[in-house]
A and B are shown apart, each in its own frame.
Chain A
């Protein structure tokens, strides 16, 4: 079964800290991996998308890495701010006939304290 796991389930940090969110997946035959942000009562906002041939993507204070061989991705957030507080979701599109379907982890709830 193709599963996506996110650790930790929740994380609380003081403002200004750098932090890392982890995502692991059971099948290395991925098409791409995407990190989303979800605010309470809102839909999903795409943060970064990494193709299977790429090792990392950067956007502002965010950096996502991908290691297919170990089945892992990390989302690095630099100089965290209270506005970064949200649930962060990792989602994988697997290769093959179902490469339109996103398989999600359960998310990491991040709280950045002022």
Chain B
């Protein structure tokens, strides 16, 4: 069956522009997660959704970052007024529910801010 998909796969933008990153989780998965993988920083948790609610936004690095999830399915991560330090790979994962052991990861979106 289909796994987690993300779009775009690559995004190049200019400093100060807004970007939207999309994640399509596995059908039926109620939990969705965003992580960021920066050069030299490793993978860092950004936000967790259960259904359409985000009980944990603690990893969002600044108020320029926001995310939403609609219909318990697709999620969008928005970065406003992008900065060069936002350049990273943004990974999305989903799991059947919060207590599920396995998170399934998408291929990621590679963001480069010039």
A104 contacts the other chain (CB 8 A) = yes
The answer for the CA separation of A26 and B103 in the assembled complex, in Å, is 22
Asked whether A43 and B102 contact (CB < 8 A) given A103-B45, A104-B43, A106-B42, the answer is no
Nearest-neighbour CB distance to chain A for B89, whole angstroms, equals 9
The answer for the CA separation of A46 and B105 in the assembled complex, in Å, is 9
Q: How many residues of B contact A (CB 8 A)?
A: 26
Q: Which of B45, B56, B95, B108 contacts A43 (CB 8 A)?
A: B108
The answer for the CA separation of A46 and B95 in the assembled complex, in Å, is 13
The answer for the CA separation of A41 and B93 in the assembled complex, in Å, is 16
Q: Which of B41, B45, B56, B91 contacts A44 (CB 8 A)?
A: B91
Residues of B bordering A, CB below 8 Å: 4, 31, 33, 35, 40-45, 48, 56, 91, 93, 95, 98-99, 101-108, 110
Residues of A bordering B, CB below 8 Å: 32, 36, 41-46, 49, 89, 91, 98, 100-107
